[in-house]
Amino acid sequence: MKGKHIVLGITGGIAAYKSVMLLRLLIKSGAEVQVVMTPSAKEFVSPVTFASLSSKPVVSEFFTANSGEWHSHVDLGLWADLMVVAPATASTIGKMANGIADNMLVTTYLSAKEDVMVAPAMDLDMWNHPGTQRNIATLEKDGVIIVQPGSGELASGLEGKGRMAEPQEILEEIKKYFNKRKDLSGLKAMVTAGPTYENIDPVRFIGNYSSGKMGYEVARELDERGAEVTLISGPVNLPVPSDSIKKIEVVSAQEMYTEAKKIFDENQIAVFAAAVADYAPVEVAENKIKRENQEEMTITLKRNPDIAASLGALKKGQTTVGFALETQNELENAKRKLHDKNFDIIVLNSMQHPQAGFMKDTNKVTIINQNGEIEDFDVKSKRAVAKDIVDAIKKWREND
Ligand code: C5P
């Protein structure tokens, strides 16, 4: 934790007194902490307490009243290696989920470049309310890490879920976050993503609805955890998740294969997330094909290379991961594919679930490895699924 920059956001809940201890623990573990308080948080604990413990003035307003000094939420957002909001009231969670930037804390959140962790604290009915749960789900989808509240006696005198996690637990989550983050340093990883387009003539192609989201999220996660990532991407409408990811743009399966083959040897991890067209037209017409006076037309197709299977056969210690999208005998087919393409790990996308699949932001997967271990996951954001996949890669490499 030494030297880590943490923005500690404090909102107006009775659990704010526990954040004094959290700040103390963070400082003791070597972090540099900047406290940001909402106006109502100051009703619960004096900013002087936090300022003394962090050796930094607390930021709460956009301007210092007497000097007019401007506090830049953008600079704070850039400075932070992690922002932790503890306690997070239902109100602040709602503002964060909806981008309501009416105080320093939420503007800092919206400017934060790195991850954000939230430790909710509220009464059990507020926690269980569909409005709160919807906002929590939105934050999770946006990549915010939620430190779940505990159950027990609440300030209201009621018993139930809603009390903020204990400072020590939050500290453990923060430590885990930083330790986990760079656990792939020194490794090279390649990811294929998106669809491929197989040209018919200069203006038409055979393609598919893959958005590339799953592959891009895997690339982001590998990069965040320290791997040197090359993303070989078919045509998609997505920004590269990080400047440190090298992107190679391709259009057809053949091009994707050529690029993947060139770099396979130098990578220790290869994730095949692309939805590669199985067939391509034998001939690509030089000019736009004219509509003739005929009811039917035929395009003859030839088989494309199976990128994953071809490279899987050349494996020299790489950990390879593939995806399977099955409509029948899901598990059996995924296991067969794992074997046939020599994958170490296969990610089975559930077709049965309405929130899973192409073009969606969520996915429901089962992860299977060569040892026959099977892990079923709930519906999650693709970003959270990417974390599970990279965890599985890490675990496999440790045990292999
Ligand atoms: O055989 P199927 O297309 O279902 O296999 C899916 C897995 O194989 C995915 O990981 C996909 O990226 C990879 N694949 C490939 N090249 C192909 C077809 C599939 O790399 N031509």
**pLDDT tens digits for range 23-66:** 999 999 999 999 999 999 999 999 999 999 999 999 988 766 56
- Cα–Cα distance for residue pair 65/248, rounded to 1 Å: 51
User: Does the CB atom of residue 337 touch ligand 1 within 6 A?
Assistant: yes
207 C-alpha vs ligand 1 centroid, how far in Å? 14
* Residue 326 alpha carbon, nearest atom of ligand 1: 4
316 C-alpha vs ligand 1 centroid, how far in Å? 20
- Which of 255, 318, 326, 341 best tests ligand 1's pocket when mutated (most atoms within 8 Å of CB)? 341
User: Does the CB atom of residue 311 touch ligand 1 within 6 A?
Assistant: no
Residue 95 has pLDDT above 80, yes or no: yes
User: Does the CB atom of residue 382 touch ligand 1 within 6 A?
Assistant: no
Active site residues: 208
Distance of CA 285 to the CA centre of its chain: 41
- Which of 323, 325, 333, 351 best tests ligand 1's pocket when mutated (most atoms within 8 Å of CB)? 323
357 C-alpha vs ligand 1 centroid, how far in Å? 15
| DSSP 8-state symbol, 196 | -
Name which residue sits closest to atom 13 of ligand 1, judged by CA: 308
342 C-alpha vs ligand 1 centroid, how far in Å? 12
* Residue 325 alpha carbon, nearest atom of ligand 1: 4
Distance of CA 106 to the CA centre of its chain: 21
| DSSP 8-state symbol, 43 | G
Please report, for residues 40, 69, 177, 373, the alpha-carbon distance to residue 36 in angstroms, rounded to integers and kept in the order given. Answer: 12, 16, 21, 45
User: Does the CB atom of residue 322 touch ligand 1 within 6 A?
Assistant: yes
Helix intervals (H) in the chain: 16-28, 47-54, 73-79, 90-98, 104-111, 124-128, 130-141, 167-181, 213-224, 253-264, 307-312, 330-340, 382-399
242 C-alpha vs ligand 1 centroid, how far in Å? 25
Residue 359 has pLDDT above 70, yes or no: no
pLDDT of residue 355: 65
276 C-alpha vs ligand 1 centroid, how far in Å? 6
**pLDDT tens digits for range 138-178:** 999 999 999 999 988 878 787 888 899 999 999 999 998 88
User: Does the CB atom of residue 304 touch ligand 1 within 6 A?
Assistant: yes
User: Does the CB atom of residue 346 touch ligand 1 within 6 A?
Assistant: no
pLDDT of residue 357: 60
User: Does the CB atom of residue 307 touch ligand 1 within 6 A?
Assistant: yes
User: Does the CB atom of residue 234 touch ligand 1 within 6 A?
Assistant: no
User: Does the CB atom of residue 167 touch ligand 1 within 6 A?
Assistant: no
Name which residue sits closest to atom 17 of ligand 1, judged by CA: 306
pTM of the model: 0.67
**pLDDT tens digits for range 232-247:** 999 999 999 888 899 9
User: Does the CB atom of residue 323 touch ligand 1 within 6 A?
Assistant: yes
235, 194 contact by CB (below 8 A)? yes
Sequence-distant (6+) residues with CB within 8 A of 260 are 190, 192, 232, 270, 307, 311
- Cα–Cα distance for residue pair 265/124, rounded to 1 Å: 54
Lowest mean pLDDT across 106-115, 150-159, 184-193, 216-225: 150-159
Lowest mean pLDDT across 171-185, 193-207, 253-267, 383-397: 171-185
